[in-house]
């Protein structure tokens, strides 16, 4: 029994599951039918692309639109969908279709995968997630298809519309526009510049929040989690949009030539996409350094728990801000919306943040060695983008050395699965100490 419990450890299953999906995806992308030249991708490039798609990052070493055949693009799209919703969600979907009952073990896996506090109502939540996904991606795909139909043949527009809707709702950022352009050709287009960011926001706030908002008419209540996610997301969006407008308004390479509406649309898009989609309508290398540093910060914070995005998450960021504010005011408890945050949550927030900072710093240091001669901000930007599973790049990704690619692959994987989940997966035993040490004091500050 003990052996079975060790084998069935949710963090281990999740880490192994994501790794297996990536390897299968890499193998499929190596097939001759996956690429236009009929040769397939080399193993490292295939592994990089499969990891980026499964971890819904969007960093690419080859251009998606011009390198891959329809088969290769559909493989990437499938990896994005499975990676965004989680392979356990899809396993549950197949169980539903086969009429299978969801076992306790599967419910525990879903709890870990969806970052839930309990297994109560977990199956109902998965059903809602699938419905939300179909509806949101369907509406977004339809709107984008209509817009693209003015620029390309009808069926190509339909395919492009749904590809970009799925990619951005899952916060992946892969695009088919060619030549690493992303959506820069639609910088002042109101349809693309509003529909895509809305898809990103909906994918990034998390399915728990969506579900509570959906049930609000019956319950007339929102949890503390939903309130924190909503307020933090709104504040980050408004503040970052205002700063981007201020910093880029007269930049001749970005917003300078745009109309008034184009400036606001592009600022809105660039404020949303670092959280954590990766598509862009302004050319990233042309942004000013203060804007690039702001984007680094936004990428590190990322989306919200239980979403398709990465980063340390909005709730982690707000909890730490609450802890700092409480300390400044001389208060013992962290209070958010008149609720006391338990110490376990504060400690976990600190652990997640420090783990993320360590990963970004370490990866940045390694890349300064493997990619010597490259600008430091470009390297920091790439490392943070990989950890936050964002996909924005200043142009370094296609030029990465083999070792640099391997480092970014591991970083994307750690960012998607989560540093804590990986730590739990490799830890042999996790149980509280049977005793407590005496208190000790050290000077701080």
308-326 pLDDT, tens digit per residue, is 788 899 999 999 999 999 9
Q: Is the pLDDT of residue 117 over 90?
A: no
Give the pLDDT confidence score for residue 136 in this predicted structure: 94
Does residue 439 sit within a domain? no
Listed range (18-22, 191-195, 406-410) with the worst mean pLDDT? 18-22
**Residue among 418, 206, 225, 184 at smallest CA distance from 315:** 225
Does residue 281 sit within a domain? yes
Q: Is the pLDDT of residue 1 over 50?
A: no
Q: Is the pLDDT of residue 40 over 50?
A: yes
**Residue among 391, 283, 389, 407 at smallest CA distance from 58:** 391
Q: Are 384 and 299 in contact (CB under 8 A)?
A: yes
**Residue among 152, 162, 178, 159 at smallest CA distance from 68:** 178
**Percent over 70 (pLDDT), the chain:** 85
Give the pLDDT confidence score for residue 79 in this predicted structure: 94
- In whole angstroms, what is the distance from residue 123 CA to residue 228 CA? 24
Does residue 443 sit within a domain? no
Contacts of 146 (CB under 8 A, 6+ apart): 157, 161, 191
276-296 pLDDT, tens digit per residue, is 788 899 999 999 999 999 999
Does residue 117 sit within a domain? yes
Number of compact structural domains in the chain: 1
**Percent over 90 (pLDDT), the chain:** 59
Does residue 441 sit within a domain? no
Q: Is the pLDDT of residue 7 over 70?
A: no
**What is the pLDDT of the chain when averaged over all its residues?**
87
**Domain range for residue 390?**
7-426
Both tokens assigned to 189: 């287009």
Place of tokens 């998965």: 126
Write down the pTM of the prediction: 0.90
Q: How many CB atoms are located within 10 Å of the residue 433 CB?
A: 6
Q: Is beta strand 334-336 parallel, antiparallel or unpaired with respect to 339-341?
A: antiparallel
Place of tokens 């300064």: 368
Give the pLDDT confidence score for residue 37 in this predicted structure: 93
């Amino acid at each position: 029994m003990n052996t079975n419990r060790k084998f069935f450890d949710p963090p281990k299953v999740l880490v192994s599951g994501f790794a297996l999906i990536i390897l299968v995806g890499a193998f499929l992308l190596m097939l001759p039918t996956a690429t236009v030249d009929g040769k397939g991708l080399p193993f490292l490039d295939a592994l990089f692309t499969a990891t980026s798609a499964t971890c819904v990052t969007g960093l690419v070493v080859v251009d998606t639109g011009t390198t891959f055949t329809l088969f290769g693009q559909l493989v990437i799209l499938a990896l994005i969908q499975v990676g965004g919703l989680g392979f356990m969600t899809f396993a549950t979907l197949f169980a539903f279709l086969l009429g299978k009952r969801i076992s306790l073990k599967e419910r525990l896996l879903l709890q870990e995968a969806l970052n839930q506090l309990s297994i109560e109502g977990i199956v109902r939540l998965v059903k809602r997630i699938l419905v939300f996904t179909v509806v949101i991606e369907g509406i977004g795909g339809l709107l984008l298809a209509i817009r693209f139909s003015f620029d390309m043949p009808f069926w190509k527009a339909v395919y492009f519309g749904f590809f970009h809707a799925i990619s951005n709702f899952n916060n992946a950022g892969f695009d088919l526009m060619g030549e690493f352009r992303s959506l820069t050709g639609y910088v002042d287009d109101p349809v693309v510049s509003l529909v895509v960011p809305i898809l990103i926001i909906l994918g990034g706030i998390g399915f728990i929040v969506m579900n509570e908002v959906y049930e609000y008419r019956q319950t007339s209540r929102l949890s503390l989690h939903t309130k924190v996610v909503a307020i933090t997301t709104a504040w980050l969006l408004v503040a970052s949009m205002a700063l981007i407008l201020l910093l880029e308004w007269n930049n001749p390479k970005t917003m300078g030539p745009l109309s008034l509406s184009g400036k606001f649309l592009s600022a809105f898009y660039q404020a949303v996409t670092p959280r954590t989609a990766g598509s862009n309508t302004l050319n990233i290398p042309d942004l000013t350094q203060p804007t690039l540093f702001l984007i680094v910060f936004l990428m590190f914070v990322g989306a919200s728990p239980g979403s398709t995005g990465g980063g340390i998450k909005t709730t982690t960021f707000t909890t730490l801000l609450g802890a700092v504010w409480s300390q400044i005011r001389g208060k013992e408890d962290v209070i958010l919306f008149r609720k006391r945050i338990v110490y376990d949550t504060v400690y976990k927030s600190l652990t997640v943040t420090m783990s993320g900072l360590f990963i970004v710093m370490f990866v940045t240091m390694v890349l300064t060695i493997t990619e010597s001669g490259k600008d430091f901000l470009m390297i920091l930007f790439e490392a943070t983008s990989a950890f936050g599973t964002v996909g924005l790049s200043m142009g370094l990704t296609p030029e990465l050395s083999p070792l640099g690619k391997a480092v970014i692959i591991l970083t994307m994987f750690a960012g998607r699965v989560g540093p804590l989940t990986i730590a739990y997966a490799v830890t042999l035993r996790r149980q509280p100490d049977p005793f407590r040490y005496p208190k000790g004091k050290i000077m701080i500050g």
